[in-house]
Amino acid sequence: MPPFKFTGEIGKKLSFLYGNVNGIRSKSEEIKRWMQEKKADIVALVETWADQSTPDCMIADHDQYVLFRKDREGCQKEKGGGVAIAVKKNLHALRMTSLEVDGLEVMWIKLICSRLNVLIGVIYAPSYDADVFTKLRSSMEHIPPFLRRNLIIVGDFNCPKIQWEGDSNGKSARDRDLISLKKEFKLWQKVRGDTRIREKSSSSLDQLFVTQLGFVRNTRVVPPPSSTCDPRAIETKLLLWTVNVKPKPKPVWKIDGDKINFFKETLSSIDWGSIFDVMCNVDVAVSVFQDIFVAAAKSAF
């Protein structure tokens, strides 16, 4: 068997979008067209209002994206809410269900990168929930220390009165709880400008926080993803070295006695120790192992 060569491409600048869609069903085609026109690599959505009757393909094009979603359940109000993250299929991401908390509309994915892994969270914090940031703190306290340095969290925080410029301050207990959370986890708030603009008022309910300023560039407020959406969207660029995984069709192999013996011999002849010694993290190692295993199977069956 020839020596294995890692063929994954390395990308550096990813297009990241966030939007509050206020119900995906009536806006599905507009939202998907918005994602396509923006050439988005990662899209975070809140207030999808999705439930079990909402297919994934209504939220994102399943030919281009892997969709992670958390529909509303266990909250004070049964209807509304819901969060989702769509990730281009050439990227490698895992949902971190261990960080999810009952009664909290937050979802985390781990984006697998070649030099470090990044945790991306999306949250919808309804204004009626006075304990929402206490629950968020509980979720974030479960993040392993090595990942706490690599956080990106975006969403509708429903704290319009916080002044983020200069020394942050808040008048309500809810506002002060979010500011305390920001300081505790050493977060930087990157959104400048109002995300809700109406005739007589404007405010910024939607925020993007990062632990490292170098993660994002050119963060800006942009027009809504749909003509019937009130909240404006957020667009930024993520500067990350990512492992691009090319989707492959799943082969079907016919296995017989002689071929299985050849397959075993092929795997036994590989110096696994030397391969894994050069891997920079376990997620890349798993991806490499899968490619080697499939290559051996192709040569045998």
The span from the CA of 1 to the CA of 295, in Å, is 9
Is 97 strand, coil or helix? helix
pLDDT score at 1: 41
Give bridge partners of residue 222 from the DSSP assignment.
233
Walking along the chain (301 residues) 10 residues at a time, the average pLDDT comes out as: 43 88 92 95 96 92 95 71 95 95 95 88 94 96 93 95 72 89 95 84 90 93 89 93 65 73 86 67 69 82 76
Of 16, 281, 11, whose CA–CA distance to 144 is shortest?
281
Give bridge partners of residue 178 from the DSSP assignment.
none
- What is the reported pTM? 0.77
Residue 249, CB-side half-sphere exposure with 13 Å CA sphere: 3
The span from the CA of 90 to the CA of 195, in Å, is 30
pLDDT score at 7: 43
Give bridge partners of residue 233 from the DSSP assignment.
222
The span from the CA of 283 to the CA of 5, in Å, is 17
Sorted by where each begins, the domain ranges of the chain are: 9-244, 257-300
The span from the CA of 21 to the CA of 130, in Å, is 23
Element (H, E) at 135: helix 132-140
The span from the CA of 44 to the CA of 51, in Å, is 17
pLDDT score at 247: 59
The span from the CA of 10 to the CA of 284, in Å, is 12
**Helices 173-184 and 132-140: angle between axes, nearest 10 degrees:** 10
- Which amino acid is located at 194 in the chain? D
Give bridge partners of residue 123 from the DSSP assignment.
106, 155
Is 9 strand, coil or helix? strand
Dump pLDDT digits (tens) for 244-289. 666 566 667 677 777 888 888 888 888 887 766 655 556 667 767 8
39: left (phi over 0), alpha (psi -120 to 50) or beta: left
pLDDT score at 269: 87
**Element counts in the chain: helices (H) and strands (E):** 7, 14
DSSP string covering 183-243, please? HHTT-EE---S-SEE-SS-EE--EEEEES-GGGEEEEEEE--SSTT--SPEEEEEEEEEEE
Residues 6 or more apart whose CB falls under 8 angstroms from that of 203 comprise 160, 161, 194, 195, 196
Torsion of CA 83, 88, 93, 97, to 10 degrees: 20
pLDDT score at 282: 63
CB neighbour burial string for 61-92, b if at least 16 within 10 angstroms, e if fewer:
eeeebbbbbbebeebeeeeebbbbbbbbbbbb
Q: What is the CATH number of domain 9-244?
A: 3.60.10.10
pLDDT score at 249: 65
Beta strands 105-111; 93-95: pairing state: antiparallel
